[in-house]
Amino acid sequence: MAEKPQLKKLDNCKRKIDIIVPAQKAAQELEEVYAAIAKTAQIPGFRVGKVPRDILEKHYGASAKEEALRRLIPEAYRQSVEELGIIPLTMPEISDVKMELGQTLSYSATVDVKPEVKLKSYKGLKIKKTVKEVKPEEVSQVLETLRERGSEFVDVQGRGVAMGDYVICDLEAVCEGKTIEKRQKAWIFMDEKFTIPGFCQGLIGAMSEEKKKIETSFPQEYPEKQYAGKPVVFDVLVSLIKEKKLPALDDEFAKDLGAYQNMDELKKEIEKDIKARHERETKLEMENQILEQILKAHIFDLPETIVEAQKKRIVEDYKHDLKHKGVSEDAMKSKEADILKSAAEKADRDVKVYFILEKIAETENIKIKPEELDERVGKIADYSKKTPEDIKKYLEEKDMLDDLIVEMREDKVMDFLIENSKIEESKE
């Protein structure tokens, strides 16, 4: 390129590049475009390949110019970026395009670039470490969860329905003279705090195959507002009565779970898992303390395009999670303002953390070695029950491999920061 591109700093993260393509280069590209058009152009009164240039310009001038620009602009942009030594974070925004026949092509490209991060103190930060001991009640809680998973529902014989039972029944709900709900083989857990007051109480003592009529009212806070507080009659046919039987906490229970010979082995494994969870939580707390300090110490502008993209991802993920939990579209819309505010704050924090940790990694020469990446991919493969080759191919196809490397690098930086912190330890 004959003329050097001019770089203008619009703000800390935005640059404008003024680019000029010499007239000779622009004309040559346009000639090549017209040569290609001439080979196939069909214009009445002229044979294909024999259309005069002035006629071609009349019929294809606009499209020829557009095609020439489509070729010239990206090429000149790439050369300019390389010559100026900048690393754009976003696709360029092209403006002020000017090209006339026989003249130079000029245009501007505006891009976001990395912010200029001037590192403040990040070593020797004071943080607190809380060492959590494994408590007996935590082990008991896990054991109870495992018992729940291994529970069985057995048929009740020789008695009627009682609180704590599970009733399998057909039911019909009638409100204001019309059926508003009809279900078959519904499972009802007999609970004093059942959604509709009096319903479970009305089933107490009922035997299998017995019909019961229960007259009650919907609560004032009933989700379907049109029925809130109104009288309702339930016709119920009790089909089966079941009760939950929990397995005994003995050696046989431990053996049924897998590679455990007795309860002692099972409890030791549970304690090991709880300890590992405590250690992860403790490390996360220390990381958050460090991040809060370095975020407070580093003030710089962020590239708006990157922040907006991150905000969009956060909102999409959050809405997807809410939808998965059964939250309605109307309910999500009512929370829209709060969701956007929260996402904006998190996006700003995430992007700022990314650039600070990247700068620390660069300063401290913290990198991810090929063997470290292979090890992580291998762990993902083991968890997914796939081959490392399949996982790596999938990550490459989805453009997720670089994200994994960044995640690993950030983990490494956080380990470095913790190792170089002043830690005050205490027990919980």
Mean of pLDDT values over 149-160: 93
Residue 217 has pLDDT above 70, yes or no: yes
pLDDT tier at 124, thresholds 50, 70, 90: very high
Residue 118 structure tokens: 């001037």
Mean of pLDDT values over 178-185: 94
DSSP string, 120-165: ---SS-EEEEEEPPPPHHHHHHHHHHHHHHT-EEEE--SS---TT-
Cα radius of gyration rounded to whole Å, the chain: 35
Q: Span 152-245: which CATH code?
A: 3.10.50.40
pLDDT of residue 258: 81
Q: Above pLDDT 90, what percent of the chain?
A: 77
Let me know: does 260 contact 254? Beta carbons within 8 Å.
Answer: yes
d(CA 111, CA 303) in angstroms, rounded, equals 9
Let me know: does 219 contact 213? Beta carbons within 8 Å.
Answer: no
Pick the CATH number of 6-112 from 3.30.70.1050, 2.40.30.20, 3.90.1150.10, 3.40.50.2000: 3.30.70.1050
pLDDT of residue 333: 85
Let me know: does 122 contact 22? Beta carbons within 8 Å.
Answer: no
Average of per-residue pLDDT values in the chain? 92
SS3 content of the chain, % helix, strand, coil (to 5): 50, 20, 30
Mean of pLDDT values over 397-420: 96
pLDDT of residue 424: 96
Domain boundary assignment for the chain? 6-112, 152-245, 261-427
- Amino acid residing at 316: E
Residue where the block lists tokens 């993260």: 13
Q: What is the DSSP letter of 5?
A: P
pLDDT of residue 384: 92
Mean of pLDDT values over 253-261: 89
Which one is predicted more confidently, 34 or 425? 425
Let me know: does 248 contact 145? Beta carbons within 8 Å.
Answer: no
pLDDT of residue 224: 86
Mean of pLDDT values over 417-425: 97
Q: Which CATH architecture has domain 261-427?
A: Orthogonal Bundle (1.10)
d(CA 287, CA 192) in angstroms, rounded, equals 45
Residue 101 has pLDDT above 80, yes or no: no
Residue 297 structure tokens: 């110490």
Mean of pLDDT values over 170-182: 94
Which one is predicted more confidently, 48 or 80? 80
Lowest mean pLDDT among 76-85, 103-112, 318-327: 318-327
Residue 59 has pLDDT above 50, yes or no: yes
pLDDT of residue 427: 87
pLDDT tier at 44, thresholds 50, 70, 90: confident
pLDDT of residue 2: 52
Lowest mean pLDDT among 55-64, 72-81, 115-124, 346-355: 55-64
Domain 6-112 and domain 152-245 have a common topology: no
Residue 337 structure tokens: 């303002």
pLDDT of residue 97: 93
Polymer length in residues for the chain: 428
Which one is predicted more confidently, 361 or 330? 361
DSSP string, 212-274: EEEEEE--TT-SSGGGTT-EEEEEEEEEEEEEEEPPPSSHHHHHHHSS-SSHHHHHHHHHHHH
pLDDT tier at 253, thresholds 50, 70, 90: very high
pLDDT of residue 38: 83
Q: What is the DSSP letter of 8?
A: E
Which of 80, 65, 84 is CA-nearest to residue 21? 80
Mean of pLDDT values over 201-216: 96
Mean of pLDDT values over 169-187: 95
Mean of pLDDT values over 344-357: 96
pLDDT of residue 16: 95
Let me know: does 170 contact 237? Beta carbons within 8 Å.
Answer: yes
Residue where the block lists tokens 């004093």: 192
Residue where the block lists tokens 């071609």: 56
d(CA 394, CA 381) in angstroms, rounded, equals 11
Residue 261 has pLDDT above 80, yes or no: yes
Which one is predicted more confidently, 232 or 335? 232
pLDDT of residue 1: 44
